[in-house]
Structure formats: structure tokens, C-alpha cells
Amino acid sequence: MQKTKGFFPIKERGSSVLTEVLAGFTTFATMAYVLIVHTNMMVDAGMDGTGVMLATALISGLITIAMGLYSNLPFALAPGMGSNAILAYTLVAQGICSWQVGIGMFMISGIVFLVLSIFRIREKVVEWIPKVLKIGVGAGVGIFLIRLSVVNAGLVAPNFGGLGDFTDPNVRLAAIGLIVTLLLYFARFEIGGRVYVIRGSLLFSIIITTIIGLCMGLVQFPDHIFTANAFSALGKVAFKLDVVGALKIAYFSYILIFFMSDFFSTLGTALGVAGKAGLLDEDGNLPVIGKVFLCDAFGTCLGAAFGLTTVTTYVESASGAEAGGRTGLTSVVTGALFLLSMFLAPLFLMIPTAATAPVLIVIGISMMQTLGNVDFSDTEWYPVAIMVLVSLFAGLANAIALGMVAYCLIHVVKYAFTSERSRETLPSIPTIVITVLSCVQFFL
């Protein structure tokens, strides 16, 4: 195939500049909530809100652009949900440590990540994970997105006890948004014998739903669109971490939790989004995953320096892949919008959850199509099924761990109780080791 002239392999991957740009906007639109949610959590931890929001936008923008340029993949990064909650509501709220010491723990975790990435140990771990789980993890990512979105939008009760409260106008807006998203996503127009789809349908649905929210009085247009007191606030959180204070035996278990959770979450997200974008090889591997890991690790270190929790590859990157993003140009556009949001934060933050959740629901359903490439024989399908189901209730890191456990147990039983007693039937020693390590998080 003829190579594209330019840095990004746009034509080789079946995309276009317009598609990449729209995909970048779509990814940012589905991720913009992190500017609010992460900031609010860190305020609860005693940090300056404006400073945290600016640091989040700055580091997310820079690392996402770096990811696009270095790996040439449509992946976006930002402070991950989960580690920030542990910092705010466990470490700080329970008086275990200050937020400065907590951020120091993330720096330590990031340095370990960086070392493992430089020596390509994280890449080896990917090779040791069974192919069927690497292919099926996309469905796990998808169902995790669906659960997250329907609960956040109020369409389903938080405890899955039934549908949400549709007397709430915000829930009704989310339902309207879902209808708009489905209409635009599946709309087809035949003109002159050619069938056309709506490019950027996911982004347009977010915009339209936000406008409907304005008309319903549920979304307020900001009084001003420019961020006030920007850079002075950044100094209140940047370079305030306490690494020395974090070097206590009592904090080791928390550092290990941050490390293990991010390791497997990033792995699952990278493989899942890459699978959706058709970028995995015949063995279910992502050839440049080492570059993804390196950017991810560097992002955590840089983020900690600026007062952020673990910076990780975001599952919402799937929205850009679904919109057609196939190269790093998508990430560069997303990163540029994060940087722009530093100055226009009120404008971007007006986008409601009711507008982004429907898009993520559609994306999650789409990602479950990766199950079509899974071997449905009993010994191969059951570990994948367990991984997908656990994703629904316990997140990606736990899902991968239990999927690995199921894979090893099933194949050991197959070796012990059937006539198929070849060495290939048993899981490899490295696979068993990775399985054991992935389960450490359950005992901390």
C-alpha cells in the first residue's frame, strides 16, 4: 500500500484528516468531565480547585499530544478515576497522610512504571497474557463503559436495582440524548447511488444534547468564557509533593494498589481501544504498546510533579476510535483542546453528563463486537466470559486478574482430566506468574 506523505499514517489506516480532527473533538468531549470530577475530588482533599483544574488540563493536554506524536495512536490520557478517590476519601479523609504525601506516593509508583517501561518489562507481560483474553478485553472495556455511563446519567439506579428516576429532568435529558445519538449514529442517506453516513455523529450528538439542555434550563451558559486567576492558582498545587514523606513502610500497600490498578487498567484500555480501531496484530498484540506504556509512565511522573494522581490512558479514547480516529493526529487534536480548556474552561465545562453518557453507551455496545473474534470453545470462552462479567461489577483491573485465574484453572483441569496432555494445554510459567501478581491487589 502506498504510504501517506506526512507524519501520521492517515491513508494507510483508512482515515482522513477531517475524520481524525472530528475524532479528536469527540474524545475530548467525552473526557471533559475529568476537569470537573477530578477537581472536585481534590478539593475535598484540601487542594486548590482552580489550580487542580489547570494542572489537569495542562498535563492531560501535553501527555496526550506526546502520546499522539510518539506512538501515533488515538489514545488520550488524564488523571484516572479511582486513585483520586482513594487519595481524597481514604488517605486524607481518614487522616492517614496529607495530600502532599499522597501525591508523593503517585510519583514513586510512576517512577517504578517508568523503569519497567524503559526496560520493556511491561511489554513482556503483555506477551504472556493469553491471546483470547487480549482479544476479549475489548468487550470488557465496552461493558465497563456502559455500566459507568448508565449509572452516571441516572438511567439506571446506582445499585442496579432498576431504572433511574425519570421524573428527574436530567435523566430525561440523558434519555433524549441517547435517542439523538442513535438517530445520528445509524442515519444513512443515499444520494446518487452512494450511501453517506454522518461524519462526527457522536460529536454532533453531544452538541445537540447540550443545546437541548440549554433549552430545558438544565444547562447554564457561563457568565464568562475565559478562566480567571489561572496561572497563580497553578502554583498552589504544582511541585508540592512530598516523596520523602511517602517513603514509609506503612504506605507500601497503597503504592502497590496504585501500581497494580493502573498497570492492568492501562493494559486493558490500550488493547481494547486498539482492538476497536483494528490495530492489533494476528496474535492480539499491539506492536507499539511499549511506547504507550512509556508515555503513560512519564505522564504519571509529570502529573505527580504538578499535583495530580495517576495519569493513565483513558477508556474514553474509544469514542475517538469509534468516530474513525486511527492515528496520533486524533490525540494531538484532543490534547490541544485540553490546553485550550485552560483558557476557556467555563465554556467546555458546561457540557453535561447527560450529553456525554449516551455516546459512551453506544461506544460500549460497539466495543462488545470484539467478541466476534473470540474462540467460543469452552476452555477459551469461559475465561473471557468471566472477565467481561467482572468488568461490569468490579472494573478492568479486577476483571483481567480473574480472567487470568479462570484461564489458568480451566487449562490445568483440561490437562489433568482429559487426554489432551500436551505442553501447549498448560498455561506457561510466565502466564502463571503474571496471574499470581495480578491477584496481589485482592489481599492488600
Q: Are 371 and 139 in contact (CB under 8 A)?
A: yes
How far apart, in whole angstroms, are the C-alpha atoms of residue 13 and residue 36? 34
Task: Give the SS3 label for residue 352.
Answer: coil
Banded pLDDT at 10 (limits 50, 70, 90): very high
- The number of beta carbons lying within 10 Å of the beta carbon of residue 429 is 9
Banded pLDDT at 3 (limits 50, 70, 90): very low
Position 228 scores a pLDDT of 67
Position 173 scores a pLDDT of 97
Averaged pLDDT, 334-346: 90
Tens of pLDDT, residue by residue over 165-196, are 999 999 999 999 999 999 998 998 888 888 87
Task: Give the SS3 label for residue 193.
Answer: coil
How far apart, in whole angstroms, are the C-alpha atoms of residue 24 and residue 143? 23
Tell me how far CA of residue 361 lies from CA of 46, 143, 152, 179, 266, in angstroms.
33, 9, 11, 11, 20
Q: How much is the pTM? A: 0.75
Position 5 scores a pLDDT of 56
Statement: residue 318 has pLDDT above 80: yes
Statement: residue 336 has pLDDT above 90: yes
Q: Is 232 exposed, middle or buried (0-12, 13-18, 19+ CB in 10 A)?
A: exposed
Position 2 scores a pLDDT of 41
Statement: residue 14 has pLDDT above 50: yes
Rounded to whole angstroms, the maximal C-alpha distance in the chain is 73
Q: Are 381 and 374 in contact (CB under 8 A)?
A: yes
Tens of pLDDT, residue by residue over 361-407, are 888 888 788 788 788 887 889 999 998 898 888 777 788 888 889 99
Compare 267 and 107 and report the one with higher pLDDT.
107
Averaged pLDDT, 219-237: 81
Statement: residue 1 has pLDDT above 50: no
DSSP tag of 3: P
Compare 422 and 307 and report the one with higher pLDDT.
307
Task: Kindly report the average pLDDT of the chain as a whole number.
Answer: 87
Tell me how far CA of residue 168 lies from CA of 18, 77, 328, in angstroms.
38, 32, 40
Cell numbers linked to 124: 513482556
How far apart, in whole angstroms, are the C-alpha atoms of residue 149 and residue 151? 5
Position 444 scores a pLDDT of 61
Pairing of strands 77-79, 194-197: unpaired
Q: What percent of the chain has pLDDT over 90?
A: 41
